[in-house]
Structure 1
Amino acid sequence: MKRGEVIRYGVIGTGMMGVEHIENINALDEAVVTAVSDTNADSRARGVQAADGEVAAFEDHVDLLDSKLCDAVVIATPNFTHVDVLADVLQRPVHVLIEKPLCTTVEDCERILALAADRPDGVVTWMAMEYRYMPAVAALVEHVHDGAVGQPRMVAIREHRFPFLQKVGDWNRFSENTGGTLVEKTCHYFDLMNLVLRERPVRVMASGAQDVNHLDEEYDGRTPDILDNAFVIVDYPSGARALLDLCMFAEATDEQEEMSVVGARGKVEARMPSNTVHLGRRGEHFIGNVEKSTAGDDRITYQGLHHGSSLIEHVEFAEAIRTGGQPAVTLDDGYWAVAMGAAAHRSIDLGRPVELSEIMQRDDDREAVR
């Protein structure tokens, strides 16, 4: 598309995240939501209300795709529907941004990768991983890739937060619908590990449980089965290792998310929601005496639910559409993040480390992450 042309967006799935995408698209220049679809009438109505201007509404996403009203679509449907909705989208020459997780199973991800291989050049297929664009995280990644800490040896990510929110039809209360907490929630963090280390992992070890949340709930005679806390260790070919510390009954906290990377030269930390970055160089700084700064991005004109990161993701998605550029986050990135979460769940179930080669058919694809 030429600069100055308005990109017409369709949003498939207009629950909480779908509306979040609509509000971010509204904040873009030369962009408009022209169509929404959702199988739930109330959600569909909220999508229409959120869109800025006239918008067509469809119950079936196929009708939206066949309407020819959209140059690009965003998929924000429940996790378990991603594989079928995305399969329909990939058969049409429309740009697409797919919400995380790519799919709920490794097998479904591999089906999608096979379909996407036939996409025409210039049609952008973008994996939504907005945590990459949180200003503090982006600053941390830049410091690491610029060599501030030397070769990274250890990555640690901690999220201590509130329980899962309620979704339409309570679909997110069961692992069969979400892929499990370590796929649904923490695929973001597995993607950040791969991004900062610029390599793909070889094995995962995990311990986790459902100890507190949702145990008093019941749906059609069933109690939710989603984990609410876990430790996950990830090993990489270079010898680097990463740790995830997740607790979803820890909202009584100061910072919700903290990420640190340590190498022989020093340590860098990102903290959210304060959006602060702490950088210490060995030999120059010591405990309690490091460089501290607040990260920002002048492109953020709408904060939304993720510190403005969703808007930056959309800015870059739109730029790729206009220039015919490559996606900054690929379906392969999404595939690896799902596989790492699936391996973590398998490790918990089996009580042992799990090699990625046990569950991935494409495990030979360990090229460096951009």
Structure 2
Amino acid sequence: MKPIKLGMVGSGDISNRFFEQAAKLEQVSFVATCARHLDNAEKKAKVYGIPRWYDDYLRMMDEEELDAVVVTTPHSVHAEVVMAALERGLHVLNEKPMATTFEDCKRMVELAEANNKTLMNLPYDLNPSFMSAIPYVSEEVIGKITGAEAQLNIPGPGRDNWYYNKEISHGGAILDCMVYPISRLISMLGPAQSVMAEVNTIIPKRIVNGGKQIQSDVDDNATVILTFTGGQHAVIRTLWGTSIKQNNTLIYGRKGTIAVNDGGFPLVVHSPLAPIPDAESVTWRGYSDCYAPKLLPSIDSERDIMSHFVHCLRTGEQPKPSGRLQLHVHEIMFAAYQSAESGQRCTLTTTFEPWNKLDPHIFDTKSNYI
């Protein structure tokens, strides 16, 4: 088995999970770290036993014999690092969001395809709850799809840093949090057709960790309506202003409903017409005729982010969170900003080949009586 050598660009807390996941994989290692401040790169390298560190990612890419880089920098730096790596023939695992402009997202995908390199962009949706829900998105279980909703609501980031500075972040709750529910719905249901949105800053004067008072000029309140091929609407919500965290996904069908991470259950199927085999009968949101299926075990290549990325490097397979899929997700986010500003519906221009192939008839609610 050929060893895979990785470089890390970014030394914040988010980088830790990639070091820890890689350490569990056979013949996979980080050989260098890079951060804007050399002492931060050194500290991170010493924590994880990495031999070399840099404060110049171009130098790291040119001097080290790397197979791929992982990018965990602040949002506004993603594009320049990713494109530099792809230009040098390196594969890339890129944190969310892909970039802070749709044009940069497109350039990244086109460059990866032109150079025949793997570009895996987060979010990574392949957790047991999500993957276990996929088989139930069928006409046999829930009937024709009639709509969907998903949300990620939190009190807001507690740190006083670039999150609340639009000049640095180039976006707030949409790019940082709404990317998750959008990605889940698009991965589950396939490409959308159009976007309408309302986006604003509802809390410009915030109190963050330690009681510090700060000024925020980023979006922290966003609602998006996606329209799918059959006219179905999906409502997606992100709010940095709740006292609780909500991170759920619901798929509505004419005969049933699928709920992921809702009401204390990792997965529930409401199926009033027939029981779900091999599932526990439960009460969900006060409803009977609900079933909690057993979660599917993760397969080795989809156990976590790094295992999936490394699997794709070794096999040449496209990642499930592929460049084209995440380009579509990101067009939705940038179209949400555009729709909110203009007050108009935005038609989407991108598409992708879904890895989760639904029967297209599941969206056809008009041909027959249902």
Given the two structures, how large is their TM-score scaled by the length of structure 2? 0.82
Matched, 1:202 2:193: yes
Alignment match, 1:36: 33
Report how far residue 236 of structure 1 moved.
1.6
The counterpart of 2:168, out of the listed 177, 183, 187, is 177
Q: Which runs of 5+ in 2 are unaligned?
A: 209-213, 276-282, 356-370
Distance 1:225 1:33, change over 3 A: same
How many residues get paired? 339
Spell out the pairing of 1:204-223 with structure 2 (5 A cutoff). 204-212=195-203, 214-215=205-206, 223=215
Alignment match, 2:93: 97
Report how far residue 15 of structure 1 moved.
0.8
Instruction: Tell me, in whole angstroms, the C-alpha distance in 1 between the residues paired with 2:188 and 2:107.
Output: 27
Moved more, 109-118 or 288-297: 288-297
How big is each residue's C-alpha offset from its partner over 1:202-225, in whole Å with a ceiling of 9 and x where there is no partner? 2222223322365468xxxx9321
Instruction: Tell me, in whole angstroms, the C-alpha distance in 1 between the residues paired with 2:306 and 2:21.
Output: 7
How big is each residue's C-alpha offset from its partner over 1:293-313, in whole Å with a ceiling of 9 and x where there is no partner? 46363569xxxxxxxx8x522
Larger radius of gyration: 2
Following TM superposition, the consecutive aligned residue runs of length 4 or more in structure 1 with deviations greater than 4 angstroms are: 272-275
Alignment match, 1:303: none
Alignment match, 1:304: none
Distance 1:147 1:58, change over 3 A: farther
Distance 1:216 1:163, change over 3 A: closer
Match of 2:159, SS?
coil
Report how far residue 76 of structure 1 moved.
1.0
The counterpart of 1:230, out of the listed 222, 226, 232, is 222
Instruction: Tell me, in whole angstroms, the C-alpha distance in 1 between the residues paired with 2:315 and 2:197.
Output: 42
Alignment match, 1:340: 332
Alignment match, 1:71: 67
Q: Which runs of 5+ in 1 are unaligned?
A: 301-308, 358-362
Aligned residues of 1:19 and 1:50 also touching (Cα < 8 A): no
Instruction: Tell me, in whole angstroms, the C-alpha distance in 1 between the residues paired with 2:265 and 2:58.
Output: 40
Aligned residues of 2:271 and 2:289 also touching (Cα < 8 A): no
The counterpart of 1:80, out of the listed 44, 66, 76, is 76
Distance 1:348 1:23, change over 3 A: same
Alignment match, 2:261: 271
Matched, 1:258 2:248: yes
Given the two structures, how large is their TM-score scaled by the length of structure 1? 0.82
Alignment match, 2:292: 292
Alignment match, 1:360: none
Match of 2:339, SS?
helix
- CA RMSD in angstroms, aligned pairs only: 2.7
How big is each residue's C-alpha offset from its partner over 1:42-95, in whole Å with a ceiling of 9 and x where there is no partner? 5313421342x3421010111111123322211111111111111101112222
Aligned residues of 1:97 and 1:127 also touching (Cα < 8 A): yes
Aligned residues of 1:277 and 1:293 also touching (Cα < 8 A): yes
Aligned residues of 1:191 and 1:336 also touching (Cα < 8 A): no
Match of 2:215, SS?
coil
Matched, 1:161 2:158: no
Aligned residues of 2:91 and 2:119 also touching (Cα < 8 A): yes
